[in-house]
């Protein structure tokens, strides 16, 4: 109980990093999300769960305006990060995506060397004044992503020469190289075996010390393992959100109960 209390207390006291208010998303005439209100606590992992088509990935992609690039997609409502509406006028989307990194379902390293994969972002954002600084960023990012020991002798090898789990950690290194504040993860382990998955989960647990993480996952077990806060989406509605422990031991809504116990999907 002490442990459980400690986690929920840190959750209660955590500052709100991002906040969605009355978010609605339409793909053409079809409404994908209705009135989503959700607070994302800083330096915690928030898991978005729900059956396919429930809108959890759509919501995730609103947080760094990835939906802007989809034709016919319209987002209404506000999403603030540190109190500033990211859909407000004058918001620089490129800058936003540097602050809010993303890791995708399938590892997608650039067809470049391991080094270049990580160096690319910091270079285009002008984060390094010289080669030494860039080297430091690359090494630091690979270290934080828990990949350095496996790649330090072959930084010039193609990123695609790594195993799936290593590629995904490379993508995480690439995401953190530009020093984001938040990292969005869309099913980051669905293409990985259980051991590679456990490595990523351990990594997520470490990364939350420095970043605010939002993860979409099909695996309720993974949500239970990695997150401190869980939000359950169903048919475009946010049904319930709460401390992960509460959602998985005593959900309040019967739909959440039915979903996490395998009765609806």
**How many degrees, rounded to 5, is the angle at CA 10 between CA 4 and CA 16?**
135
Is 144 a binding residue for other proteins by CB under 8 A? The answer is: no
Is 169 a binding residue for other proteins by CB under 8 A? The answer is: no
Contact predicate 184/172, CB 8 Å: no
* Element (DSSP H or E) covering residue 248: helix 244-249
Instruction: Find tokens 């998985």 and name the residue.
Output: 248
For residue 81 the two structure tokens come to 């990060």
State in angstroms the smallest separation of the CB of 107 from other proteins.
Answer: 18
State in angstroms the smallest separation of the CB of 57 from other proteins.
Answer: 23
DSSP class of residue 102 equals: E
* Element (DSSP H or E) covering residue 190: none
Considering only residues 201, 218, 237, 257, which one is a binding residue for other proteins as defined by CB under 8 A? 201
Per-position x/- string for 171-190, each x denoting binding to other proteins as judged by CB under 8 A, each - no binding: --------------------
State in angstroms the smallest separation of the CB of 153 from other proteins.
Answer: 23
Considering only residues 144, 225, 229, 234, which one is a binding residue for other proteins as defined by CB under 8 A? 225
Is 221 a binding residue for other proteins by CB under 8 A? The answer is: yes
Is 127 a binding residue for other proteins by CB under 8 A? The answer is: no
CA–CA distance, 121 with 114 (Å, rounded to integer) = 13
DSSP class of residue 15 equals: P
DSSP class of residue 147 equals: -
Count of residues in contact with other proteins, rule CB under 8 A: 17
Q: Which residues bind other proteins (CB under 8 A)?
A: 1-4, 195, 198-199, 201-202, 205, 221, 224-225, 244-245, 248-249
């Amino acid at each position: 109980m002490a442990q459980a209390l400690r986690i929920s207390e840190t959750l209660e006291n955590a500052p709100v990093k991002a906040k969605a208010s009355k978010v609605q998303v339409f793909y053409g005439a079809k409404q994908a999300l209705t009135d989503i209100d959700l607070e994302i606590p800083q330096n915690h992992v928030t898991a978005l769960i729900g059956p396919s088509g429930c809108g959890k990935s759509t919501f995730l992609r609103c947080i760094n305006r990835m939906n802007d690039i989809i034709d016919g997609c319209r987002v209404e409502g506000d999403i603030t990060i540190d109190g500033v509406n990211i859909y407000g006028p004058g918001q620089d989307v490129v800058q936003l995506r540097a602050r809010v990194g993303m890791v995708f379902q399938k590892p997608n390293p650039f067809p470049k060397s391991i080094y270049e994969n990580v160096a690319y972002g910091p270079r285009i954002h002008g984060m390094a004044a010289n080669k030494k600084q860039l080297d430091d960023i690359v090494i630091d990012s690979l270290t934080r992503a828990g990949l350095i020991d496996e790649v330090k002798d072959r930084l010039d090898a193609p990123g695609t020469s790594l195993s799936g789990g290593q590629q995904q950690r490379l993508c995480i290194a690439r995401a953190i190289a530009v020093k984001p504040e938040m990292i969005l993860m869309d099913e980051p382990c669905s293409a990985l075996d259980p051991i590679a998955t456990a490595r990523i989960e351990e990594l997520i647990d470490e990364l939350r010390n420095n970043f605010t993480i939002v993860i979409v996952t099909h695996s309720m077990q993974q949500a239970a393992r990695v997150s401190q806060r869980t939000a359950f989406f169903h048919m475009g509605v946010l049904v319930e959100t709460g401390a992960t422990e509460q959602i998985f031991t005593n959900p309040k809504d019967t739909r959440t109960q039915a979903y996490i116990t395998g009765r609806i999907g």
